[in-house]
Every structure is written in C-alpha cells, then in structure tokens.
Amino acid sequence: MGEEEQNQNSTESFTTTKSSLRQAIEVISSSISLSHSIKVFTVKWQRIRKKLEELSSGLMAVENCDSNQHTSVFSGLVPSVLATVNECHNLARSCVDLSYSGKLLMQSDLDVMIAKFDSHLKNLSRIYTAGILSQGFEIVVSRPGLGACKDDMRFYIGDLLTRMKIGDIEMKRQALVNLYQVVDEDERYVKLVVEVCDLVNVIVIFLDSPEMEIQEEASKIVSLISGFDMCKGVLVGSGVIGPLVRVLENGSDLGKEGAARCLQRLTANLDNAWSVSAHGGVTALLKICSSGELRGELLDLSCGLLRNLVGVEEIKRFIVEKGAIATFIKLASSREEIVQINSIEFLQNIAFGDESVRQMVVREGGIRALVCVLDPRSSTSSKTREVALRVIEKLCFSSQNCINMLMNYGFMDQLFFFLRNGEVLVQESALKVTSRLCETSEEAKKAMGNAGFMPELVKLLDAKSYDVREMATKALSNLVSVPKNRKRFV
C-alpha cells in the first residue's frame, strides 16, 4: 500500500505541475501579445519579450515531456516561473495603462524582472543539459506553413534560437538545419534572422564550435544569408570574419566552402578585405590553393576570394610575396574549367597596371602556361580558351619580348587554328586578338602573313556579323602595310 500511495502522490504532483506549466505558457503568450502595445520603456520591454519567447519554447519542451519521472525537478521550477510571469503580466498591464507610480520605480521593477527571467532560463538550461528533455524538446514547435503570419514565423525562429542556446549537440545541429531550410525556401525569414536579437551572434559563435557538424551548419547559414545585402553589415558587425578565417584554417572541406563563399561575398566591399587579411585569411587561402590534392568548389571559391583581395594594393603585395603567382600558374593547368578560369583571371588581375608583377608572371612561366591552355589537342573548354586569349592580349601585347616568347611557344599557329576552325565564340575571340596583334609590330605582321592569316581574314569579310567584318577589315588594313602581305592580299 505504501508503494501505491507513493505512485498516486507522484501522479498527482505531476498533474499539478503540468497544470501550472500550461498556465505559465498561456500567461507568457498573453504577456508577449500585451508587450507589443507598450509605448514606454521600449528597450527594456524588447529584452523582456525576447526572454519570454525563449522561456516559452523551453517550457513547451517541459510540457511535451510526457513522463512523470522528473516531476521533482520540474515541481520546483514551474511555480517559481508562474509567479514571475504573472508578475510580468501585471507590470505589462501597468505600462500599457500608464498606471505605474513612478518611472524610476518601474525601471527598477523591470530590471528585477529581467534578472528573474535570466535565472529561470539558466535553471532550464541546466535541466536540459542533464538530458531530461532530450526526447520531448524535439517536437515542440512545427514549422509555419506557406503564407504564415510574421508572428508565427518569429515565434518559430525564436524557438530555434532557444534550442541553439540550451540544446545538446544534436538539437543545436537540427535547429541550424531547420533554420537553413526555412531561409533557403522563404526569403521572408531573412529579415527575421536579422531582427531576432542574438540569433546572428549565436550562429557566429557556432563557427568556432569544436563539433564539426555544428561548425558546418553554421558555415552554411552565414554563407546563405551573406547573399542578402541586409545581412552583410550585420554579419560583419557580429565579428564573423575572424571565425570564418579560422574555419578556413581548421574546418572540414564543407565548412571551408561555406566560409569561403561568405567571405567572397563580403569582400566585394574592399573595406572587409583588410579584416580578412588581418586575421590571416590570405595565408589560409593560399594554403588551400597550393594543396595538390584539392579539387572542386572549395578551390574555385578560394581562387575567387583571392581575386577580390588583390583589389587592395597592400594585400596584393603580400599575396605576391607569399608565392601566389607560381601557385596560380600551376592551377591554370587544372582539369576543372572554373578553377582554370579563376586562376587565369587572377593572374590578369594581379598583374594589371603593375609592370613588376607582370614581369614576374612572365618569369614564372605564365606565358607558357597560357599557351598550353590553348593547345587544340587539349580538353580545355571553349570558355577557358576565350579567357586565355583575352588575358594573353592584356598581359603580353605591350611587350615585344613577350610577343617573341608567344611566337616561340607556337602561339601563332594556335591563333590561326582557332581563326579557321574554332567554335563561333572562340573564333571571334581569336579574331579580336588577331586584330590587336596586327598593331603591335612589323615582325608580328610579317609572321602572320607567313602563317597564312590573309586568306582567312578575307573570308571573314563576307561574315554575317558586322563586328566580325569590321575586325577582319581592321586586321587586313594593318597587315597590308607590309609589301609582301599586299601581294598576298591581291
């Protein structure tokens, strides 16, 4: 009989606790709604509302825990919370009605209220850390459907934030996954991510998590929201750049991809490029790019990010000193189209308007690498060949020495091949380069005449495209300034 009475008492205690819990949740919901009507002490009420939302999510997790095994733990917490939220509701009513006795006294009462909520949230966090809510908290709040009102969406985001703060590793990870999904599928959530206090800060903190899965999910989220202008300043203001660089240094490949994509978007503003460099980002990126085994999107993103960074002269100098030119000349022979293109364009960007760097590109074998990209026997894509032709023109045609090197490497034969046999876009690129090369020197004109360019250019005078006819005419005009070429033209 003693055991039966004990079980009966436990059940009654559990029922009482559940009833008080439901009452507390309802009072919190009412207080949150009421707080939106308050026109005084707005900053303090914003803080209180945020804590009410966190507490509501946590208490619903307790309510969802359908076992009475932990009644003793909850029975001490719930009455205290209920008393606090009732007190909060009364204060809210006084602020709405402007019926409080004095501003200083009300400010003091609100500060006390914030401290009480902090204490309750800490206690709830300790209970969760002990593993008591591990089952119940997983199914508390359903994701709002399409067309849901902003309040429902905000409450859902607030619940995810609570899980990130007091959940175990798996719950934190799942909350991040759910946040990524809603933002990715519905852009209305982007504004809420910015508006919900502390959310961006918490995500940024997760970038330094020792748990790789948490770090990866946080990296995916900052990468996603960095694509929205309204989020860029918030991310930078939350100190995201340092943690992102640390992910580049020590994270998984998936985490590094998210970090690099986010930094690439942020460094479109060159003011942020300084911060990336100051946190060691250049060194981390060059290490990624110089890794002989690395392939795929991470390499592409790292190349693109370094292209942004060379827009700052001092950073460009540092990148050059760290041996980037040799690294990117090597990457120009990559089998991946996007890596090849980014590498070739990086060489163009870093040498643009800087004769000393241009000469360094030449000395390191840049011209040979570019000519190899154009080899008709290679599997290089047409787009890559277009880029290579454009970069050769910009890097080489201002120097007779470089033009001579091009000819020694067989560039003239390649140019002629694409002028005659190339796909339309490659053929037009080859024609542009041909027209430009005709203007460089008498030696070039003679070599082009000897290589058989004249008949091909004459054929292009009948092309449908006006631009093609104009470029062919311009090239022929330059070539026929050489007597031997005039005879060939006739």
Mean pLDDT of the chain: 86
What pLDDT is stored for residue 304 in this prediction? 87
Ranges 81-85, 129-133, 219-223, 242-246: which has the least confidence: 129-133
Topology alike, domains 325-409 and 413-490? yes
Tens of pLDDT, residues 9-54: 545 555 677 788 889 889 998 998 899 889 999 899 988 988 888 8
Homologous superfamily (CATH) for 413-490: Leucine-rich Repeat Variant (1.25.10.10)
Tens of pLDDT, residues 58-76: 787 667 655 454 455 566 7
- CA-to-CA distance for 138 and 20, rounded, in angstroms? 22
Architecture of domain 325-409: Alpha Horseshoe (1.25)
Tens of pLDDT, residues 141-168: 678 877 788 888 888 888 888 788 777 7
Q: Domain ranges for the chain, please list them.
A: 2-139, 325-409, 413-490
